[in-house]
Chains A and B, each alone.
Chain A
Amino acid sequence: MFRTIKELVDQAQSSCLSISEIMILSEMETTQKSRADIFSKMEKNLEVMEKAVERGIHEEVRSHSGLTGGDARLLQNYLETGNSLSGNVLLDAVSKAMATNEVNAAMGTICATPTAGSAGVVPGTLFGLRGRLNPTRDEMVRFLFTAGAFGFVVANNASIAGAAGGCQAEVGSATGMAAAAAVELAGGSPEQSADAMAIALGNMLGLICDPVAGLVEVPCVKRNAIGASTAVVAADMALAGIKSKIPCDEVIDAMYKVGRMMPAAFRETALGGLADTKTGRALKQRIFGQSKNTDGSALTEK
Protein backbone atom coordinates (compact mmCIF):
# COMPACT_ATOMS: atom_id res chain seq x y z
CA MET A 1 0.00 0.00 0.00
CA PHE A 2 1.18 3.52 -0.77
CA ARG A 3 -0.33 6.88 0.06
CA THR A 4 1.87 9.28 -1.87
CA ILE A 5 3.76 9.30 -5.17
CA LYS A 6 6.98 9.46 -3.16
CA GLU A 7 6.06 6.25 -1.30
CA LEU A 8 5.11 4.61 -4.60
CA VAL A 9 8.40 5.55 -6.28
CA ASP A 10 10.46 4.63 -3.18
CA GLN A 11 8.80 1.22 -2.96
CA ALA A 12 9.46 0.56 -6.64
CA GLN A 13 13.09 1.66 -6.41
CA SER A 14 13.97 -0.10 -3.16
CA SER A 15 12.51 -3.39 -4.39
CA CYS A 16 13.72 -2.96 -7.99
CA LEU A 17 10.16 -3.40 -9.28
CA SER A 18 8.11 -1.43 -11.76
CA ILE A 19 5.26 0.85 -10.68
CA SER A 20 2.77 -1.52 -12.31
CA GLU A 21 4.13 -4.41 -10.24
CA ILE A 22 3.81 -2.40 -7.00
CA MET A 23 0.19 -1.64 -7.94
CA ILE A 24 -0.55 -5.32 -8.62
CA LEU A 25 1.03 -6.41 -5.31
CA SER A 26 -0.91 -3.73 -3.43
CA GLU A 27 -4.17 -4.81 -5.07
CA MET A 28 -3.47 -8.46 -4.14
CA GLU A 29 -2.88 -7.42 -0.54
CA THR A 30 -5.96 -5.19 -0.28
CA THR A 31 -8.46 -7.48 -1.99
CA GLN A 32 -6.93 -10.88 -1.16
CA LYS A 33 -7.49 -11.86 -4.80
CA SER A 34 -5.02 -13.78 -6.94
CA ARG A 35 -2.62 -12.15 -9.37
CA ALA A 36 -4.32 -14.01 -12.22
CA ASP A 37 -7.78 -12.69 -11.27
CA ILE A 38 -6.58 -9.11 -10.95
CA PHE A 39 -4.61 -9.25 -14.18
CA SER A 40 -7.47 -10.74 -16.19
CA LYS A 41 -9.92 -8.15 -14.81
CA MET A 42 -7.61 -5.40 -16.06
CA GLU A 43 -7.24 -7.20 -19.40
CA LYS A 44 -11.04 -7.05 -19.77
CA ASN A 45 -10.90 -3.29 -19.18
CA LEU A 46 -8.24 -3.08 -21.91
CA GLU A 47 -10.56 -4.95 -24.29
CA VAL A 48 -13.39 -2.49 -23.57
CA MET A 49 -11.04 0.42 -24.30
CA GLU A 50 -9.81 -1.17 -27.52
CA LYS A 51 -13.36 -1.76 -28.76
CA ALA A 52 -14.36 1.83 -28.00
CA VAL A 53 -11.32 3.17 -29.88
CA GLU A 54 -12.00 0.91 -32.88
CA ARG A 55 -15.66 1.95 -32.91
CA GLY A 56 -14.79 5.62 -32.72
CA ILE A 57 -12.31 5.62 -35.58
CA HIS A 58 -14.19 3.24 -37.91
CA GLU A 59 -17.91 3.73 -37.29
CA GLU A 60 -20.17 6.71 -37.72
CA VAL A 61 -20.61 7.63 -34.06
CA ARG A 62 -22.93 10.51 -33.20
CA SER A 63 -24.22 11.66 -29.83
CA HIS A 64 -27.97 12.12 -29.26
CA SER A 65 -27.53 15.89 -29.06
CA GLY A 66 -25.58 15.96 -32.32
CA LEU A 67 -22.85 18.03 -30.68
CA THR A 68 -20.08 15.47 -31.11
CA GLY A 69 -19.04 12.53 -33.27
CA GLY A 70 -16.96 11.90 -36.36
CA ASP A 71 -13.95 14.04 -35.42
CA ALA A 72 -11.75 11.05 -34.60
CA ARG A 73 -12.35 9.78 -38.14
CA LEU A 74 -11.57 13.20 -39.61
CA LEU A 75 -8.24 13.14 -37.84
CA GLN A 76 -7.47 9.58 -38.99
CA ASN A 77 -8.17 10.56 -42.58
CA TYR A 78 -5.94 13.60 -42.19
CA LEU A 79 -3.18 11.42 -40.73
CA GLU A 80 -3.25 9.23 -43.83
CA THR A 81 -2.37 12.20 -46.03
CA GLY A 82 1.02 12.31 -44.31
CA ASN A 83 0.93 16.09 -44.11
CA SER A 84 0.30 16.54 -40.38
CA LEU A 85 2.27 19.15 -38.50
CA SER A 86 2.55 17.40 -35.17
CA GLY A 87 3.48 13.90 -36.36
CA ASN A 88 1.89 10.48 -36.50
CA VAL A 89 2.35 9.21 -32.93
CA LEU A 90 0.94 12.36 -31.40
CA LEU A 91 -2.03 12.67 -33.73
CA ASP A 92 -2.81 8.97 -33.56
CA ALA A 93 -3.00 9.28 -29.77
CA VAL A 94 -5.15 12.39 -30.11
CA SER A 95 -7.59 10.76 -32.53
CA LYS A 96 -7.93 7.63 -30.36
CA ALA A 97 -8.62 9.72 -27.28
CA MET A 98 -11.35 11.52 -29.24
CA ALA A 99 -12.71 8.20 -30.50
CA THR A 100 -13.21 7.02 -26.91
CA ASN A 101 -14.94 10.20 -25.78
CA GLU A 102 -17.14 10.28 -28.86
CA VAL A 103 -18.32 6.76 -28.05
CA ASN A 104 -18.88 7.83 -24.43
CA ALA A 105 -20.92 10.85 -25.50
CA ALA A 106 -23.05 8.57 -27.68
CA MET A 107 -23.85 6.50 -24.55
CA GLY A 108 -21.61 3.69 -25.78
CA THR A 109 -19.66 1.35 -23.51
CA ILE A 110 -16.35 2.66 -22.18
CA CYS A 111 -14.03 2.12 -19.23
CA ALA A 112 -13.76 5.11 -16.88
CA THR A 113 -10.09 6.17 -16.54
CA PRO A 114 -10.35 7.69 -13.98
CA THR A 115 -13.78 9.03 -15.00
CA ALA A 116 -16.00 8.71 -18.06
CA GLY A 117 -15.55 12.35 -19.02
CA SER A 118 -11.79 11.83 -19.02
CA ALA A 119 -11.91 8.27 -20.40
CA GLY A 120 -10.09 9.11 -23.64
CA VAL A 121 -6.66 10.25 -22.47
CA VAL A 122 -5.27 6.97 -21.09
CA PRO A 123 -6.41 4.64 -23.92
CA GLY A 124 -5.67 7.32 -26.52
CA THR A 125 -2.08 7.57 -25.29
CA LEU A 126 -1.69 3.79 -25.03
CA PHE A 127 -3.08 2.93 -28.45
CA GLY A 128 -1.31 5.91 -29.98
CA LEU A 129 2.03 4.60 -28.70
CA ARG A 130 1.32 1.04 -29.79
CA GLY A 131 2.61 1.60 -33.32
CA ARG A 132 5.77 3.27 -32.00
CA LEU A 133 6.69 0.88 -29.17
CA ASN A 134 5.08 -2.43 -30.26
CA PRO A 135 4.16 -3.48 -26.71
CA THR A 136 3.08 -7.02 -25.83
CA ARG A 137 -0.47 -7.51 -24.54
CA ASP A 138 1.05 -7.97 -21.10
CA GLU A 139 2.81 -4.61 -21.29
CA MET A 140 -0.40 -2.92 -22.39
CA VAL A 141 -2.23 -4.27 -19.35
CA ARG A 142 0.67 -3.10 -17.18
CA PHE A 143 0.31 0.38 -18.69
CA LEU A 144 -3.15 0.47 -17.10
CA PHE A 145 -1.86 -0.64 -13.69
CA THR A 146 0.79 2.10 -13.80
CA ALA A 147 -1.79 4.72 -14.79
CA GLY A 148 -4.05 3.36 -12.05
CA ALA A 149 -1.32 3.63 -9.40
CA PHE A 150 -0.80 7.33 -10.08
CA GLY A 151 -4.54 7.97 -10.32
CA PHE A 152 -5.04 6.14 -7.02
CA VAL A 153 -2.87 8.68 -5.20
CA VAL A 154 -4.63 11.63 -6.88
CA ALA A 155 -8.09 10.24 -6.04
CA ASN A 156 -7.21 9.75 -2.37
CA ASN A 157 -5.20 12.94 -1.80
CA ALA A 158 -7.09 15.34 -4.08
CA SER A 159 -10.09 14.53 -6.27
CA ILE A 160 -10.99 13.04 -9.63
CA ALA A 161 -14.45 14.65 -9.81
CA GLY A 162 -15.08 17.65 -12.03
CA ALA A 163 -17.89 18.69 -9.69
CA ALA A 164 -15.37 18.87 -6.84
CA GLY A 165 -12.19 20.06 -8.55
CA GLY A 166 -12.93 21.13 -12.13
CA CYS A 167 -11.51 19.60 -15.31
CA GLN A 168 -7.99 19.67 -13.86
CA ALA A 169 -9.21 16.88 -11.54
CA GLU A 170 -10.49 14.81 -14.47
CA VAL A 171 -8.59 15.40 -17.71
CA GLY A 172 -5.67 16.83 -15.68
CA SER A 173 -5.44 13.66 -13.58
CA ALA A 174 -5.90 11.42 -16.62
CA THR A 175 -3.14 13.25 -18.48
CA GLY A 176 -0.74 12.86 -15.56
CA MET A 177 -1.62 9.16 -15.27
CA ALA A 178 -1.11 8.59 -19.01
CA ALA A 179 2.21 10.47 -19.02
CA ALA A 180 3.52 8.39 -16.11
CA ALA A 181 2.40 5.13 -17.73
CA ALA A 182 3.91 6.14 -21.10
CA VAL A 183 7.28 6.58 -19.38
CA GLU A 184 7.18 3.05 -17.96
CA LEU A 185 6.08 1.60 -21.31
CA ALA A 186 9.02 3.35 -23.00
CA GLY A 187 11.47 1.90 -20.47
CA GLY A 188 11.88 4.93 -18.19
CA SER A 189 12.37 4.83 -14.42
CA PRO A 190 9.69 5.19 -11.70
CA GLU A 191 11.18 8.57 -10.86
CA GLN A 192 10.80 9.67 -14.48
CA SER A 193 7.17 8.54 -14.38
CA ALA A 194 6.60 10.80 -11.38
CA ASP A 195 8.28 13.70 -13.18
CA ALA A 196 6.14 13.14 -16.27
CA MET A 197 2.99 13.19 -14.16
CA ALA A 198 4.10 16.33 -12.31
CA ILE A 199 4.92 18.12 -15.59
CA ALA A 200 1.62 17.10 -17.21
CA LEU A 201 -0.67 17.84 -14.27
CA GLY A 202 1.21 21.02 -13.41
CA ASN A 203 0.45 22.26 -16.89
CA MET A 204 -3.28 21.72 -16.41
CA LEU A 205 -3.79 23.44 -13.06
CA GLY A 206 -6.81 25.68 -13.04
CA LEU A 207 -8.58 23.97 -15.94
CA ILE A 208 -12.31 24.45 -15.34
CA CYS A 209 -15.18 22.04 -15.97
CA ASP A 210 -17.71 23.90 -18.14
CA PRO A 211 -19.71 21.40 -20.19
CA VAL A 212 -22.05 23.02 -22.71
CA ALA A 213 -25.65 22.12 -21.81
CA GLY A 214 -24.22 19.92 -19.04
CA LEU A 215 -23.34 17.32 -21.65
CA VAL A 216 -20.03 15.42 -21.52
CA GLU A 217 -19.25 16.55 -25.06
CA VAL A 218 -18.15 20.15 -25.56
CA PRO A 219 -15.35 20.77 -24.66
CA CYS A 220 -14.70 17.34 -23.07
CA VAL A 221 -13.89 15.46 -26.29
CA LYS A 222 -11.27 17.97 -27.40
CA ARG A 223 -9.85 18.37 -23.89
CA ASN A 224 -9.21 14.63 -23.85
CA ALA A 225 -7.64 14.88 -27.29
CA ILE A 226 -5.15 17.53 -26.28
CA GLY A 227 -4.70 15.83 -22.91
CA ALA A 228 -3.32 12.80 -24.79
CA SER A 229 -0.89 15.01 -26.72
CA THR A 230 0.25 16.62 -23.47
CA ALA A 231 0.76 13.18 -21.93
CA VAL A 232 3.02 12.06 -24.78
CA VAL A 233 5.03 15.30 -24.73
CA ALA A 234 5.39 15.28 -20.92
CA ALA A 235 6.58 11.65 -21.10
CA ASP A 236 9.17 12.61 -23.72
CA MET A 237 10.36 15.50 -21.55
CA ALA A 238 10.79 13.25 -18.52
CA LEU A 239 12.54 10.57 -20.60
CA ALA A 240 14.93 13.28 -21.83
CA GLY A 241 15.92 13.80 -18.20
CA ILE A 242 13.90 16.93 -17.49
CA LYS A 243 12.74 17.11 -13.86
CA SER A 244 9.71 18.79 -12.39
CA LYS A 245 10.99 21.44 -10.00
CA ILE A 246 7.86 20.92 -7.88
CA PRO A 247 7.58 17.30 -6.64
CA CYS A 248 4.60 15.35 -7.96
CA ASP A 249 2.87 15.09 -4.56
CA GLU A 250 3.01 18.86 -4.18
CA VAL A 251 1.56 19.35 -7.66
CA ILE A 252 -1.32 17.03 -6.68
CA ASP A 253 -1.81 19.02 -3.48
CA ALA A 254 -1.79 22.27 -5.48
CA MET A 255 -4.45 20.83 -7.79
CA TYR A 256 -6.59 19.97 -4.77
CA LYS A 257 -6.24 23.48 -3.33
CA VAL A 258 -7.00 25.14 -6.67
CA GLY A 259 -10.12 22.96 -6.90
CA ARG A 260 -11.25 24.01 -3.42
CA MET A 261 -10.91 27.67 -4.41
CA MET A 262 -12.73 27.21 -7.71
CA PRO A 263 -16.18 28.83 -7.88
CA ALA A 264 -19.11 26.41 -8.31
CA ALA A 265 -19.78 27.89 -11.79
CA PHE A 266 -16.57 26.15 -12.95
CA ARG A 267 -17.24 22.80 -11.31
CA GLU A 268 -19.53 20.86 -13.63
CA THR A 269 -22.61 23.02 -13.09
CA ALA A 270 -22.67 24.23 -16.71
CA LEU A 271 -23.04 27.79 -15.39
CA GLY A 272 -19.65 29.21 -16.44
CA GLY A 273 -16.91 29.11 -19.07
CA LEU A 274 -17.83 27.74 -22.49
CA ALA A 275 -21.25 26.66 -21.19
CA ASP A 276 -22.03 30.29 -20.41
CA THR A 277 -21.19 31.71 -23.84
CA LYS A 278 -23.84 33.01 -26.22
CA THR A 279 -23.51 29.94 -28.41
CA GLY A 280 -23.24 27.59 -25.42
CA ARG A 281 -26.51 28.88 -23.99
CA ALA A 282 -28.23 28.71 -27.38
CA LEU A 283 -27.14 25.09 -27.82
CA LYS A 284 -28.57 24.21 -24.42
CA GLN A 285 -31.87 25.80 -25.36
CA ARG A 286 -31.96 23.92 -28.65
CA ILE A 287 -31.17 20.52 -27.12
CA PHE A 288 -33.46 20.44 -24.10
CA GLY A 289 -37.18 20.88 -23.86
CA GLN A 290 -39.08 20.50 -20.62
CA SER A 291 -38.12 17.33 -18.72
CA LYS A 292 -40.87 15.07 -17.50
CA ASN A 293 -41.48 12.56 -14.72
CA THR A 294 -42.36 8.96 -15.60
CA ASP A 295 -46.08 9.81 -15.52
CA GLY A 296 -45.62 12.73 -17.92
CA SER A 297 -45.98 15.47 -15.27
CA ALA A 298 -43.53 18.36 -15.25
CA LEU A 299 -40.51 18.37 -12.96
CA THR A 300 -40.52 20.49 -9.82
CA GLU A 301 -37.67 22.98 -9.91
CA LYS A 302 -36.81 24.97 -6.79
Chain B
Amino acid sequence: MRYRSVFDIIGPVMIGPSSSHTAGAARIGRMARKLFGSTPERADITLYGSFAETYRGHGTDVALVAGLLDFETDDSRLSEALSIAAKKGIKVTFTTDKETQTEHPNTARLRLAGRGNALELVGVSIGGGKIEITEVDGFSISLTGSNPALLVLHRDKYGAVAEVAGLIAKYEMNISHMEVSRHERGHLAMMVIQTDEEINDGLAAEISGLTNMLNVAVLS
Protein backbone atom coordinates (compact mmCIF):
# COMPACT_ATOMS: atom_id res chain seq x y z
CA MET B 1 0.00 0.00 0.00
CA ARG B 2 1.53 3.27 -1.15
CA TYR B 3 -0.45 5.48 1.22
CA ARG B 4 -0.09 4.36 4.84
CA SER B 5 -1.47 7.21 6.95
CA VAL B 6 -4.71 9.18 7.07
CA PHE B 7 -2.48 12.27 6.96
CA ASP B 8 -1.33 11.27 3.48
CA ILE B 9 -4.95 11.93 2.50
CA ILE B 10 -5.95 14.78 4.83
CA GLY B 11 -2.73 16.76 4.47
CA PRO B 12 -0.12 18.01 4.05
CA VAL B 13 -0.63 21.57 5.20
CA MET B 14 1.05 23.40 2.37
CA ILE B 15 1.50 26.51 0.28
CA GLY B 16 -0.58 26.19 -2.90
CA PRO B 17 -1.32 25.62 -5.61
CA SER B 18 -0.66 21.88 -6.23
CA SER B 19 -0.01 18.99 -3.87
CA SER B 20 1.71 16.91 -6.54
CA HIS B 21 3.42 19.68 -8.51
CA THR B 22 4.23 22.04 -5.62
CA ALA B 23 4.27 20.17 -2.27
CA GLY B 24 5.42 16.89 -3.83
CA ALA B 25 8.12 18.69 -5.78
CA ALA B 26 9.32 20.41 -2.60
CA ARG B 27 9.48 17.03 -0.88
CA ILE B 28 11.50 15.52 -3.75
CA GLY B 29 13.95 18.43 -3.48
CA ARG B 30 14.19 18.08 0.29
CA MET B 31 14.74 14.32 0.13
CA ALA B 32 17.44 14.89 -2.51
CA ARG B 33 19.13 17.39 -0.21
CA LYS B 34 19.02 14.93 2.69
CA LEU B 35 20.54 12.16 0.57
CA PHE B 36 23.18 14.57 -0.70
CA GLY B 37 23.95 15.56 2.88
CA SER B 38 24.03 19.33 2.40
CA THR B 39 22.73 22.13 0.21
CA PRO B 40 24.25 21.53 -3.23
CA GLU B 41 26.30 24.20 -5.03
CA ARG B 42 24.84 23.21 -8.34
CA ALA B 43 21.62 21.47 -9.38
CA ASP B 44 20.67 20.43 -12.90
CA ILE B 45 17.05 19.41 -13.01
CA THR B 46 15.13 17.70 -15.80
CA LEU B 47 11.33 17.67 -15.77
CA TYR B 48 9.26 15.03 -17.55
CA GLY B 49 5.60 14.47 -18.44
CA SER B 50 3.06 16.66 -16.67
CA PHE B 51 5.91 18.31 -14.73
CA ALA B 52 7.44 19.41 -18.05
CA GLU B 53 4.14 20.68 -19.44
CA THR B 54 2.79 22.56 -16.42
CA TYR B 55 5.69 23.37 -14.08
CA ARG B 56 5.28 27.12 -14.56
CA GLY B 57 1.66 27.26 -13.49
CA HIS B 58 2.30 25.06 -10.48
CA GLY B 59 5.62 26.51 -9.36
CA THR B 60 7.23 23.06 -9.65
CA ASP B 61 10.65 24.58 -10.40
CA VAL B 62 10.35 26.94 -7.42
CA ALA B 63 9.24 24.12 -5.13
CA LEU B 64 12.04 21.74 -6.13
CA VAL B 65 14.58 24.43 -5.29
CA ALA B 66 12.73 25.22 -2.02
CA GLY B 67 13.24 21.57 -1.11
CA LEU B 68 16.95 21.75 -1.94
CA LEU B 69 17.07 24.70 0.50
CA ASP B 70 15.48 22.42 3.13
CA PHE B 71 12.13 24.27 3.20
CA GLU B 72 9.03 22.36 4.33
CA THR B 73 5.84 22.31 2.21
CA ASP B 74 4.23 25.04 4.36
CA ASP B 75 7.27 27.33 4.55
CA SER B 76 6.21 30.88 3.67
CA ARG B 77 9.56 31.44 1.90
CA LEU B 78 8.69 28.73 -0.63
CA SER B 79 7.55 31.06 -3.39
CA GLU B 80 10.85 33.01 -3.14
CA ALA B 81 13.06 29.92 -3.41
CA LEU B 82 14.58 30.74 -6.81
CA SER B 83 15.78 34.18 -5.74
CA ILE B 84 16.96 32.88 -2.35
CA ALA B 85 18.99 30.17 -4.13
CA ALA B 86 20.44 32.75 -6.54
CA LYS B 87 21.48 34.94 -3.58
CA LYS B 88 23.21 31.97 -1.96
CA GLY B 89 25.11 31.45 -5.20
CA ILE B 90 23.49 28.12 -5.96
CA LYS B 91 23.46 27.50 -9.69
CA VAL B 92 20.26 25.82 -10.86
CA THR B 93 19.31 24.86 -14.40
CA PHE B 94 16.06 23.38 -15.65
CA THR B 95 15.45 21.28 -18.73
CA THR B 96 12.02 20.15 -19.86
CA ASP B 97 11.94 16.80 -21.61
CA LYS B 98 8.54 16.28 -23.19
CA GLU B 99 9.61 13.31 -25.30
CA THR B 100 11.01 10.69 -22.93
CA GLN B 101 8.19 8.49 -21.63
CA THR B 102 8.41 7.98 -17.89
CA GLU B 103 6.52 5.43 -15.80
CA HIS B 104 4.71 8.20 -13.90
CA PRO B 105 3.85 11.57 -15.47
CA ASN B 106 5.15 13.62 -12.53
CA THR B 107 8.84 12.80 -12.71
CA ALA B 108 11.99 14.86 -12.09
CA ARG B 109 15.66 13.96 -12.41
CA LEU B 110 18.05 15.90 -10.19
CA ARG B 111 21.81 16.03 -10.62
CA LEU B 112 23.38 17.63 -7.58
CA ALA B 113 26.98 18.66 -7.12
CA GLY B 114 29.05 20.45 -4.50
CA ARG B 115 32.00 19.98 -2.11
CA GLY B 116 33.48 17.40 -4.43
CA ASN B 117 30.39 15.21 -4.29
CA ALA B 118 27.80 14.39 -6.92
CA LEU B 119 24.43 12.66 -6.73
CA GLU B 120 21.88 11.87 -9.37
CA LEU B 121 18.39 10.78 -8.48
CA VAL B 122 14.91 10.44 -9.90
CA GLY B 123 11.87 11.50 -7.87
CA VAL B 124 8.23 10.86 -8.64
CA SER B 125 5.26 12.73 -7.19
CA ILE B 126 2.45 10.19 -7.04
CA GLY B 127 -0.39 12.41 -5.80
CA GLY B 128 -1.58 14.33 -2.75
CA GLY B 129 2.00 15.35 -1.89
CA LYS B 130 3.21 11.76 -1.57
CA ILE B 131 6.52 11.04 -3.31
CA GLU B 132 8.89 8.21 -4.15
CA ILE B 133 12.58 8.24 -5.02
CA THR B 134 12.85 5.60 -7.73
CA GLU B 135 16.51 5.85 -8.73
CA VAL B 136 19.76 6.90 -7.05
CA ASP B 137 22.98 7.05 -9.05
CA GLY B 138 21.53 4.69 -11.63
CA PHE B 139 20.28 2.12 -9.12
CA SER B 140 16.55 1.35 -9.14
CA ILE B 141 15.16 1.74 -5.64
CA SER B 142 11.90 2.60 -3.92
CA LEU B 143 12.03 5.12 -1.14
CA THR B 144 9.05 7.07 0.18
CA GLY B 145 10.50 8.76 3.23
CA SER B 146 7.79 7.29 5.48
CA ASN B 147 10.44 5.48 7.52
CA PRO B 148 14.05 6.23 8.44
CA ALA B 149 16.35 4.71 5.83
CA LEU B 150 19.98 3.90 5.11
CA LEU B 151 21.33 3.99 1.58
CA VAL B 152 24.60 2.12 1.27
CA LEU B 153 26.67 2.05 -1.90
CA HIS B 154 28.91 -1.00 -1.67
CA ARG B 155 30.95 -3.53 -3.61
CA ASP B 156 28.89 -6.51 -4.70
CA LYS B 157 30.76 -9.03 -2.51
CA TYR B 158 29.44 -11.94 -0.49
CA GLY B 159 28.75 -11.11 3.13
CA ALA B 160 28.35 -7.37 2.55
CA VAL B 161 24.63 -7.42 3.30
CA ALA B 162 25.10 -9.70 6.30
CA GLU B 163 27.73 -7.41 7.81
CA VAL B 164 25.45 -4.38 7.58
CA ALA B 165 22.47 -6.33 8.90
CA GLY B 166 24.66 -7.55 11.77
CA LEU B 167 25.54 -4.00 12.77
CA ILE B 168 21.89 -2.96 12.67
CA ALA B 169 21.08 -5.87 14.97
CA LYS B 170 23.89 -4.81 17.31
CA TYR B 171 22.18 -1.42 17.65
CA GLU B 172 18.96 -3.32 18.49
CA MET B 173 17.14 -1.88 15.51
CA ASN B 174 14.47 -3.53 13.41
CA ILE B 175 14.56 -3.60 9.60
CA SER B 176 11.09 -2.98 8.16
CA HIS B 177 12.04 -3.15 4.47
CA MET B 178 15.21 -3.89 2.57
CA GLU B 179 16.28 -4.09 -1.06
CA VAL B 180 19.53 -4.54 -2.95
CA SER B 181 20.01 -3.27 -6.47
CA ARG B 182 23.05 -3.67 -8.72
CA HIS B 183 24.14 -3.08 -12.29
CA GLU B 184 26.38 -6.07 -12.83
CA ARG B 185 27.42 -9.05 -10.74
CA GLY B 186 30.56 -8.38 -8.74
CA HIS B 187 30.63 -4.62 -9.33
CA LEU B 188 28.72 -1.96 -7.43
CA ALA B 189 25.47 -2.41 -5.56
CA MET B 190 23.11 -0.29 -3.51
CA MET B 191 21.39 -1.42 -0.32
CA VAL B 192 18.31 0.47 0.82
CA ILE B 193 17.36 -0.43 4.37
CA GLN B 194 14.32 1.02 6.07
CA THR B 195 14.06 0.79 9.84
CA ASP B 196 11.42 1.31 12.51
CA GLU B 197 13.82 3.31 14.70
CA GLU B 198 15.77 6.48 13.90
CA ILE B 199 19.28 5.79 12.60
CA ASN B 200 22.04 7.33 14.72
CA ASP B 201 25.40 8.66 13.52
CA GLY B 202 27.32 5.91 15.33
CA LEU B 203 25.70 3.20 13.24
CA ALA B 204 26.27 5.10 10.00
CA ALA B 205 29.94 5.59 10.91
CA GLU B 206 30.43 1.91 11.75
CA ILE B 207 28.87 0.87 8.44
CA SER B 208 31.12 3.34 6.60
CA GLY B 209 34.09 1.67 8.27
CA LEU B 210 33.32 -1.78 6.84
CA THR B 211 35.61 -2.98 4.04
CA ASN B 212 33.23 -3.04 1.11
CA MET B 213 31.22 0.10 1.86
CA LEU B 214 31.79 3.09 -0.43
CA ASN B 215 29.16 5.58 0.65
CA VAL B 216 26.50 5.73 3.35
CA ALA B 217 23.58 8.16 3.36
CA VAL B 218 21.05 8.42 6.17
CA LEU B 219 17.47 9.53 5.78
CA SER B 220 15.95 10.39 9.17
Q: Judge if A216 is at the interface, Cβ distance under 8 Å.
A: yes
Contact with B along A93-104 (1 / 0, CB 8 A): 000000000011
* A151/B9 in contact, CB under 8 A: yes
Q: Is B177 an interface residue, CB under 8 A from the partner?
A: no
- Choose one: B6, B14, B86, B106; the contact of A152 (CB below 8 Å): B6
- B85, B86, B126, B128: the one within 8 Å of A112 (CB): B128
Q: A15–B3 Cα gap in the complex (Å)?
A: 24
B35 adjacent to chain A (CB < 8 Å): no
The chain B residue with its CB closest to the CB of A41 is B7
Stretch in A186-194, A234-242, A293-301 touching the partner: A293-301
Q: Mark A148-163, 1 if CB is under 8 A from B, else 0.
A: 1101100110011111
- B16 and A294 contact, CB distance less than 8 A: no
Q: Are B6 and A27 in contact (CB under 8 A)?
A: yes
Q: Which residues of A contact B11 (CB under 8 A)?
A: 45, 111-113
Give the residues in chain A near B93, CB-CB below 8 Å. Answer: 293, 297, 300
Q: Is the CB of B22 closer than 8 A to any CB of chain A?
A: yes
Q: Is the interface of B mostly helix, strand, loop or mixed?
A: mixed
**Bound form: Cα–Cα A291–B56 in Å:** 8
Q: Which residues of B contact A171 (CB under 8 A)?
A: none
For chain A, residues 126 to 160, give those with C-beta under 8 angstroms from any C-beta of chain B: 144-145, 147-149, 151-152, 155-156, 159-160
Question: Does any Cβ of A come within 8 Å of B94's Cβ?
Answer: yes
Report the contact-size class of chain B (Cβ under 8 Å from the partner): 35 or more
Kindly identify, within residues 1 to 47 of chain B, every residue whose CB is under 8 Å from any CB belonging to chain A.
1-23
A254 part of interface (Cβ distance < 8 Å): no
Chain B nearest CB from A216 CB (Å) reads 4
CB distance from B142 to the nearest CB of A (A): 15
The 0/1 profile, CB within 8 Å of B marked 1, for residues 280-302 of chain A is 00000000100101110101111
Judge whether A116 and B18 touch: CB under 8 Å: yes
Q: Name the residue of chain A whose CB is nearest to the CB of B87.
A: A294
Q: How far is the CA of A211 from the CA of B58 in the complex (A)?
A: 10
**Given A115-B20, A270-B54, A291-B56, is A149 in contact with B13 using a C-beta cutoff of 8 Å?**
no
Kindly state the separation between the CA atoms of A112 and B104 in the bound complex, as whole angstroms: 21
Q: Give A252 to B17 CA distance when docked, in angstroms.
A: 26
Residue B148 is within 8 A (CB to CB) of chain A in the complex: no
Q: List 16 A-B contacts (CB under 8 A).
A: A30-B4, A42-B7, A45-B11, A104-B16, A109-B76, A111-B10, A115-B129, A116-B19, A119-B16, A148-B6, A214-B55, A216-B17, A216-B18, A216-B57, A264-B49, A301-B95
